[in-house]
Amino acid sequence: MLWALIKKDLLHLIRVKRELSTLLVMPAVLIAILGYALGGVMNPEPKPLTAQVAVIREGNVKKELEQFKKDLARSPLSPEERLWVVDKAEHFVPSDILVRKVLQGEKGKRAFAVREISPGERDSVLRDERFAGILTIPKDFDLSLWRSLFLREKSAVSLKLELNESRFLQGQWLKSAVESFREQINRSGAIYRSLELAGSKKLDPDFFAPDPTPSIRGEITTLEGRKPLSSFEYFTVGMSTMFLLHAAAFTARIASEERENRALDRIALAGVPAWRFWAGKWLATFLLALIQLFTLFGYAALAFDVTWKNPASFLVVTFLLAFVAGSLAVFLMALSFRFNTSWVVEIFSTSIVVILGFLGGSFFKMNILSEWLARLGEWIPNGAALTAYLGAMQGASPQDLTNPLTVLAGWAAALLLAAAGLKPERGRVR
């Protein structure tokens, strides 16, 4: 009986040409039009020569300095020597030298535009083609260098530099600056130890602050797969994720029509349990969403050579997005039944879908308007799906897409729970 309910809804779609056009023909046409018309906007040339750099500080300088003071207290140094070392450590903060004097110094600021970000922002910055790379300063970076330089403890710390292939020239500038800093710090440490052996400790506070101690290693990663996206790739994802919302509205509209023409009464009289009716609608939408997505992506692959560097991520996102579509459909049904009107579905399909498409970035990248709006868009279903799909196109693994996938899973569960709370009481279909 469940399959019969699903089959009925899918056959209804085939008979209603207007709905079929909305779900398949219209997005296909828009992909072609927007891809050709806005190709120059999506991939403007020439690219600016200034290298935008994101810096992640995983540690806390104040906490590391406090820990270093505790280490000093356990050292054999005299009180006067400890005071001297603390003074030097307070003036010699390697992470600050790298960020403020190398990258943001008088010469550095001509080449680099630095933005400090939190670890949680890393994934979104990785997808932002404006950035030449991400420099990660690990936890206890400064503490390890202080211990090595002043307490002669053997330690090695690593800076992690991830470079964007599409910003090759700017990436080489950044790589050169970081390597220069590393060499300068290592050289300064050697000079300090030589002076210490010679019995001189009266060093100038700026001794360690030339431009671009201890041993600093560097890990440099080229972000393969972060290729610039073509306008066709972007709008294939943008239109597909937006028009998927119409699939949910289509199923909800069928349910409203069945309620108005008393078809639900006949289903109830036939002894069909309420859960089976609702499950049938959910599954019908799930299958419809898969058919729609695979059809549109297949069309884009044949017509515009839109491919996926990570097919596994593509499949995970697609099936999870279909789950969201099914949950959205039963949620719209529950609202329509609760308020006894089909206007809920009509308002959603005519107005709310467009608003969600705009906020989710289906028409253009929202960071062109506002970073705040771009971050907001990543928290709505189609926006999270767009982010995940673009990542899959650039080779991101499912693990790399944890944030958008979690958002999609959260929406699927929340909409399903909301529908369960709004639907008619147990035992009734309507």
Domain boundary among 198, 226, 252: 198
**What local confidence, expressed as pLDDT, does residue 10 receive?**
59
Per the structure, how many domains does the chain have? 2
Residues 71 and 184 in one domain: yes
Residue 46, preceding bond cis, omega within 30 degrees? yes
Nearest residue to 169 via CA among 315, 300, 49, 343? 49
Nearest residue to 181 via CA among 55, 287, 21? 55
**What local confidence, expressed as pLDDT, does residue 133 receive?**
86
What is 327-380 written as a DSSP string?
A: HHHHHHHHHHHHHT-SHHHHHIIIIIHHHHHHHTTSSS-GGGT-HHHHHHHTTS
**What local confidence, expressed as pLDDT, does residue 295 receive?**
93
- Domain span at residue 58 reads 51-198
Residues 390 and 243 in one domain: yes
Residues 312 and 380 in one domain: yes
Tell me whether residue 13 is in a domain.
yes
Ordered per-residue pLDDT tens for the chain, 430 residues: 555 556 665 565 566 666 666 778 888 888 888 888 776 555 544 444 567 889 999 989 899 999 989 988 888 888 888 888 888 888 888 888 888 888 887 767 777 888 899 888 888 887 787 888 899 998 988 888 888 877 777 766 778 888 876 676 677 778 888 887 877 776 665 555 544 544 444 434 344 333 333 444 444 444 444 556 788 889 999 999 999 998 888 888 887 777 666 655 555 555 566 667 778 888 888 998 999 999 999 999 998 888 888 899 999 999 999 999 999 998 988 888 888 777 888 888 888 989 999 998 888 877 777 778 888 888 999 999 999 999 888 888 888 888 999 999 999 999 999 988 886 654 444 4
**What local confidence, expressed as pLDDT, does residue 428 receive?**
47
In this structure, the number of other CB atoms found within 10 A of the CB of residue 266 comes to 12
**What local confidence, expressed as pLDDT, does residue 414 receive?**
94
- Cβ atoms of residues 374 and 352 within 8 Å: no
Give dist(CA 228, CA 427) in Å, integer.
Answer: 54
**What local confidence, expressed as pLDDT, does residue 237 receive?**
93
CATH code, 77: 3.40.1710
Give dist(CA 139, CA 142) in Å, integer.
Answer: 8
Tell me whether residue 204 is in a domain.
no
Residues 123 and 169 in one domain: yes
Residues 108 and 147 in one domain: yes
Give dist(CA 190, CA 206) in Å, integer.
Answer: 16
Residues 10 and 135 in one domain: no
**What local confidence, expressed as pLDDT, does residue 104 receive?**
81
Tokens read off for 347: 């308002």
**What local confidence, expressed as pLDDT, does residue 362 receive?**
85
**What local confidence, expressed as pLDDT, does residue 215 receive?**
44
- Cβ atoms of residues 318 and 407 within 8 Å: no
Residues 152 and 262 in one domain: no
**What local confidence, expressed as pLDDT, does residue 349 receive?**
83
Residues 55 and 193 in one domain: yes
By DSSP bridging, strand 131-137 and strand 156-164 are antiparallel
Distances (CA, A) of 215 to 13, 126, 272: 67, 28, 73
Residues 83 and 35 in one domain: no
Predicted structure pTM score: 0.57
Residues 149 and 261 in one domain: no
> Which residues, listed in sequence order, are joined to residue 158 by a DSSP beta bridge?
217
Residues 281 and 147 in one domain: no
Residues 186 and 256 in one domain: no
